[in-house]
Amino acid sequence: MLNYDYDLIIIGGGVGGSALAAGMAAAGARTLILEAEQSFRDRVRGEAVMPWGVTEARQLGLLDVLEKAGANPLPFWDSYQGPDRSGHRDLTRTTRAKEPVIACYHPALQTALLQHAEASGAQVWRGARVSGLTPRSPSPNPIVSLERNGTPLQLSARLVAGADGRNSPTRGWANFPVLRDPERNLVSGVLLDGVDLPQDATHAWLDTAKGHFILNFPQGQGRARVYLCYPAGSAKRYGGPDDIREVLAQCIASGVPAEAYRQATPAGPLATFDGRTSWAESAYRNGVALLGDAAANTDPTWGQGLSMAFRDARALTEQLLAHNDWDAAGKAYAEARQQPFSVVHAMENWQSQLLLDTGPDADAARARAFQSWRDDRTRNPDTFLSGPAEPLTEPHRRRFFGEA
C-alpha cells in the first residue's frame, strides 16, 4: 500500500514545473501542481528561449505548446555597435542546435504549459498557498503544508519539486545552502507595441563605453520585449510608467535608432531587477529537488533562464523514470545539473566582465580579447546560443580573455 498522497508534488506552475509535470503525469506518476496565482501576470522577464533551449523543449515534446502560446521564431541574431549593424547571424545554420531563438509572452507561455500538464494527467490546484515544507528526514516522506479554499492541508509525496522561482521559498523550507554572486548588472524590461524593427531577428546593441547591453525580442506584429542591461552602481532602478521614456532614451543614446521606438506604446509594466546569480549548492536534498530559477537563477542579461528550466525538467523527468529509488534519482539529477550550470555561470561572469566593465583597463582587455577572437573564433565559446556542451576550465578562460 502506498504511504504517500502523491508520487510528485510540484510547488510552482511556471515553465519548469509544468514541463516536469506533463512528462511525469504522462508516464503515469500521480502528480500535483500547486500554483499560487489564479492568473499569470507580466513579470517582465523570461521571454526568450535560446536555440539550445528550443532543442530541450523539442525533446520534451513541447514545441506545439509553445506555438499555441503564440511563440515567435527569431532565426536571426542581429548585433549592433552604435547605429551600425555589425552582425546578421542565421542561428538555424550556425548553432549546434540549428534552431531559432523563440520569443513568447511569458504569461501566455505559462498558461499554455499549465494547461498541457493538466491535459497530460496532472492535477492542478490554482490559488493554493504553500506555507511550509518538511523534508523527508525525519519524516518518511516530504510533507507540504498549504491552504486551499480557506482549508489548511498537509500532503505527502514520494518527491517534492520546488519550481517556485528566483526567490524560491522551497529553498528555505528545505534548508538548501544558497550562494550568491556579488552585485554586477541590473536589468530593466518593458513590453512595447509599435516597435519598428524586423520581426524575424533578435536585436542586440552593445555600448561598452557605458556598460549597456540592449536587447529587443520581437513577439510579432510590432510587439517586442525591450531590455536595458546596465551596471548596478551607475544609475537608478527604473520602475513605473513615468520611467519608460527615460529607459528608451538610454537605449537610443546607446545606439538604438530613434525611429524604432517613435510609435512605441507600453503594453505592460516597466520593472528593474537584480542580475546577480544565486544558486543552491546542490539541486536535491532529503526528498526535495529544485529546478529552474529555484535551483539557480542565472543572470538574465544573458537570457539563459528558460533554456535552463526546460533542461532541468527534461533531466529530472529522465532520472525519475529511470530509477525505482527516487532518492538516487534526485542525487543523480543534482550531480548531472552541476556541469551545465557551472558552464553557463562561468560564461555569464566572463562576458559581463569583458563586455560590460568600463574604463581604460576594461577597454584594453576588450581590445586584446577581440583581436584574439578575430584570429581564432573558438576562443569565444558559443555557450549562450548553442548550449553548455563542454566544461570551461582555467585554460578556456585565458583563451577567452586573450591571455594565452
Residue 1 has pLDDT above 50, yes or no: no
Domain boundaries, the chain: 1-43+106-181+280-404, 185-274
1-43+106-181+280-404, CATH topology level = FAD/NAD(P)-binding domain (3.50.50)
Top-confidence residue, 1 or 280: 280
Quote the pLDDT of residue 43: 84
Quote the pLDDT of residue 3: 67
Written in H, E and C, the secondary structure of the chain is CCCCCEEEEEECCCHHHHHHHHHHHHCCCCEEEEECCCCCCCCCCCCEECHHHHHHHHHCCCHHHHHHCCCEEECEEEEEECCEEEEEEEHHHHCCCCCCEEECCHHHHHHHHHHHHHHCCCEEEECCEEEEEECCCCCCCCEEEEEECCEEEEEEEEEEEECCCCCCHHHHHCCCCEEECCCCEEEEEEEEECCCCCCCEEEEEEECCCCEEEEEEEEECCEEEEEEEEECCCCCCCCCHHHHHHHHHHHHHCCCCHHHCCCCEECCCCEEEECCCEEECCCEECCEEECHHHCEECCHHHCCHHHHHHHHHHHHHHHHHHCCCHHHHHHHHHHHHHHHHHHHHHHHHHHHHHHHCCCHHHHHHHHHHHHHHHHCHHHCCCHHHHCCCCCCCHHHHHHHCCCC
Residue 335 has pLDDT above 50, yes or no: yes
Residue 95 has pLDDT above 90, yes or no: yes
Give domain 185-274's CATH superfamily.
D-Amino Acid Oxidase, subunit A, domain 2 (3.30.9.10)
Quote the pLDDT of residue 4: 83
Mean pLDDT for the stretch of residues 141-151: 96
Top-confidence residue, 183 or 288: 288
Residue 283 has pLDDT above 80, yes or no: yes
Quote the pLDDT of residue 390: 85
Mean pLDDT for the stretch of residues 219-243: 93
Q: What is the pTM of this model?
A: 0.97
Residue 119 has pLDDT above 60, yes or no: yes
Q: What is the chain's mean pLDDT, rounded?
A: 96
Quote the pLDDT of residue 363: 97
Quote the pLDDT of residue 70: 96
Mean pLDDT for the stretch of residues 350-368: 97
* pLDDT tens digit sequence for 310-327: 999 999 999 999 999 999
Quote the pLDDT of residue 337: 97
